[in-house]
Amino acid sequence: MFFIVGLRLRHSTVDTGTFRCPNERGDRSYERMRARRWFTLFFIPLIPLGTRREWVRCRGCGATYGPDVLAHRVAGRPRARFT
pLDDT tens for residues 18-52?
999 999 888 999 999 999 999 999 988 899 998 88
pTM equals 0.69
* Domain-embedded: residue 78: no
* Domain-embedded: residue 83: no
* Domain-embedded: residue 60: yes
Question: Residue 73: pLDDT band by 50, 70, 90 thresholds?
Answer: low
* Domain-embedded: residue 19: yes
Cβ-count burial of 56 within 10 angstroms (0-12 exposed, 13-18 middle, 19+ buried)? buried
Q: What is the structure's pLDDT at 76?
A: 57
Report the alpha-carbon distance of residue 83 to residue 80 in Å, rounded: 10
Compute φ and ψ for 37, nearest 5 degrees. Answer: -95, 135
* Domain-embedded: residue 26: yes
Q: What is the pLDDT of residues 52-64, one digit of tens each?
A: 899 999 999 999 9
Q: Which domain holds residue 46?
A: 5-71
* Domain-embedded: residue 81: no
* Domain-embedded: residue 12: yes
Domain count, the chain: 1
